[in-house]
Chain A
């Protein structure tokens, strides 16, 4: 993407302003406008780490859509199922990491089975596939309620991930001149790091491997890919497995950061929907941009206009749809 000199200057100014907001000690008038520096900095941190979680959920959703044109409205259910499975396994074995692996692997298997048993039967019939995913999500939500009940679960994160770390950002100075640094939960930063790592991993998978070549070819022309002798069904099943596995992975990661309860499936489905509508369907960088925008909007809304927070998210969606219906990074259908 090439920027014109004018927009380069603008972007540089914006970045400089943001850096200044984090580094400088705030003058009084700024505190008057934005509230305490602590509120602002924590909000931005929360927004970015939440964006990491949203990216984890939405990347699987957008990956599946990109190849199969399948809007998987059961994606939220996959997230919640992953969280429950991960929790149960972690409780049984006593190791959080095994729970994380189980969340990914079990949901990958579920995704592959869904593709092979259900979606292969109605290939090319997008609306029916979508309706089927709605039906599956109704049944899944009810069966999960039957199995795990209506209570809220809280993961116990291993000690090495727990606790807060002290960041070099100075929030204020005490009267005796001591600096007050920002302390932030370590785990949330790990979530962000995991999201970035997975994003890079997906990019490498799509752009540097043979299966990535097949997937990208399938996105462009499914029939042609099939004609060149590639087993498209295998590629589809693999992509669905990765997408569902990512949802399960995000379920364990997100369930540990927040909590697991019925209704979370709908919340993360909405997040995935809005992220990919804003970012552009089928685009991994789009999902990253969308997640960042929505995560920040949600936290800023929560901090600065509590009862209208959801409106801010919605305004972003409307603005994107009005000016760029296919999403920020999306290609025209």
Chain B
């Protein structure tokens, strides 16, 4: 029996690590990381993994707590990124040149609205339809950005988008960007954990496990689900803003089907039961992507990542976190006789 099945009643967070020494150790490690790593590792590996982790976190929230596997979270992030390019400044010269403190909230808002709209459509049907509908919506946005030159500048998209210089710090430099991404990631991580334990999150998890009973108890099932999409959209929007600052450019390729699937792969490989899985998966994914050249050659990266994904789905549905949980449980079992 797979624990990926949203209908399968899972014990509430069997390996909760929030507030545990492990969380603080991980945070300390992430804070110290820039002092020991080279700029390449800080930016291309550390920063990128955090950004992808934030977007995967929004998928993890919907799938893990809501039981709704939405593939269009990458599209919500990408749309927010597009908004940064369109409302801010870009090298195509079509930007509105608004200041960053207007652009960023607007971009996040648009991402959240897109996600909410997706949710409004997707929650009308249940279960397996969600993947189909969100995949179709994401593909439609991809095709629209590719065909439309008036707003999205078509195939070439936008380039020359830089993170702003605020408080005398150029946030595009590796170390500041890393800390910015780390701050946003930590905030999103904490927010997800908080919401998961708040009444809303508990109701959402109950709806995941038994929507009919929750409906009978008087909860508005659809409203909870749509609200979950809205919350996930805010996270995805933040991730999208960081992503476009990271890349400095955005084009339809950024929100293509491959990228939508990548986010799913990250969330599933990391483990969909806990927010930490999204970041674990992202670190794993980015390291693999960076060093795939040495393992299988850059050409066949997708075969490798696809195979890995298949192995995880077939053998360890809870991903890397699941493996860790299994290992910890078996260790505890071994220790028991000594007590």
Chain A residues within CB distance 8 Å of chain B? 69, 71, 73, 121-122, 125-128, 130-132, 134-136, 138-139, 141-143, 146, 266, 270, 273-274, 276-277, 281, 306-311, 313-314, 317-318, 321-322, 325-326, 333
Contact = CB atoms under 8 A, between A and B. Distances in A.
6 contacts: A71-B131, A132-B310, A136-B310, A277-B133, A306-B147, A321-B121
A303 to B, nearest CB: 14
A33 B129 CA distance: 39
Q: Interface centre among B2, B150, B305, by most A CB within 10 Å?
A: B2
B310 A139 contact: yes
A194 to B, nearest CB: 26
Interface in B112-154: 121, 124-129, 131-133, 135-137, 139-140, 143-144, 147-150
B303 A139 contact: yes
A138 B257 CA distance: 10
Nearest to A138: B306
Contacts of A141: 302
B135 A73 contact: yes
B268 interface: yes
Given A139-B303, A307-B150, A134 B309 contact: yes
Contacts of A313: 140
B261 interface: yes
A281 B129 CA distance: 9
B256 to A, nearest CB: 8
A127 B139 contact: no
Interface in B306-330: 306-307, 309-310, 313-314, 317
B128 A321 contact: no
Q: Interface centre among B69, B306, B309, by most A CB within 10 Å?
A: B306
Contacts of B1: 125
B99 to A, nearest CB: 30
A325 B300 contact: no
B5 A270 contact: no
Contacts of A142: 300-303, 306
Interface residues on B, range: 35 or more
A25 B147 CA distance: 34
Given A125-B2, A274-B136, A131 B313 contact: yes
What 8 A-B pairs come out closest when comparing CB atoms? A138-B306, A139-B306, A142-B302, A135-B310, A325-B124, A310-B143, A135-B309, A142-B303
Interface string B285-311: 000000000000001111101110110
A127 B135 contact: no
- The main secondary structure of chain A at its interface with chain B is helix
Given A69-B128, A136-B310, A125 B136 contact: no
A38 to B, nearest CB: 24
A127 B136 contact: no
B306 A135 contact: yes
Nearest to A71: B128
Contacts of A306: 147
Given A126-B5, A134-B309, A313-B140, 20 more contacts: A71-B128, A122-B2, A126-B128, A134-B264, A135-B307, A138-B305, A139-B302, A139-B303, A146-B299, A270-B135, A270-B136, A276-B132, A308-B144, A308-B147, A310-B143, A310-B144, A311-B144, A317-B136, A318-B121, A322-B124
Contacts of B78: none
Interface string B18-51: 0000000000000000000000000000000000
Nearest to A327: B125
Contacts of B5: 125-128
A146 B303 CA distance: 10
A69 B133 CA distance: 15
Given A130-B131, A273-B136, A322-B124, A135 B313 contact: yes
Contacts of A314: 137, 140, 144
A139 B301 CA distance: 9
Contacts of B87: none
A136 B121 CA distance: 27
A69 B129 CA distance: 10
A97 to B, nearest CB: 33
B6 interface: yes
Contacts of A321: 121, 124-125, 133
B152 to A, nearest CB: 9
